[in-house]
Amino acid sequence: MKQMPRQRTVIKPLSSSLRIQRGAAAIEAALLFVIFFTLFYAIVSYSMPLLMLQAFQHAAASGARSAVAVESTEFGSTDDYIQNGVAPRVRNVVGELLNWLPPAAHVAVLGEGNQNVQVVFDPASGLLTVTVSFMDYPDNPLVPILVFPGIGAVPRLPQHLTGRASVQL
């Protein structure tokens, strides 16, 4: 029997254009990772302050609405009515609605005994204004603010996050 000659497998060297392309995928992946991470972080870091702004607005509106339920006949003067009747009720309602805030934000927004919630009454117009604020948020953020090269600070936010509502008494 005659044996067939064995075929030899020849391994060809990579062409020069393929050798140049070897690291391109890694570089492209690294660049895309930075872009996608920045977008993801921006979404997460903007969501928390926007959620807080909506919660502050809702809490201020609910607090202002709760002021209407306080009977003015139980108090001698208008100042007594506002200071001892309306303000404690408004602060209690706002505190209950914002009880979900993390401890650091809870103290910054509400203070001890919800004293940071501003309740202002204008006797001339009869307008009660309730204000809930997180003062100096960029200095003490819940989600850290990162500085990306070429993009800048993420997130860019106002100095104070504030919700305000008014009601006619």
Per-residue pLDDT of 53-88, as tens digits, reads 999 999 999 999 999 988 887 778 888 888 889 999
- Measured distance CA(110)–CA(98) in Å, rounded: 8
Q: Does this model's pTM top 0.85?
A: no
For 142, other C-beta atoms within 10 Å of its C-beta total 16
Burial (CB < 10 A; 0-12, 13-18, 19+), residue 62, is middle
Tell me the per-residue pLDDT of 9-62, one tens digit each, with 9 for 90 and over: 666 665 555 556 667 788 888 889 988 987 888 888 889 899 999 999 999 999
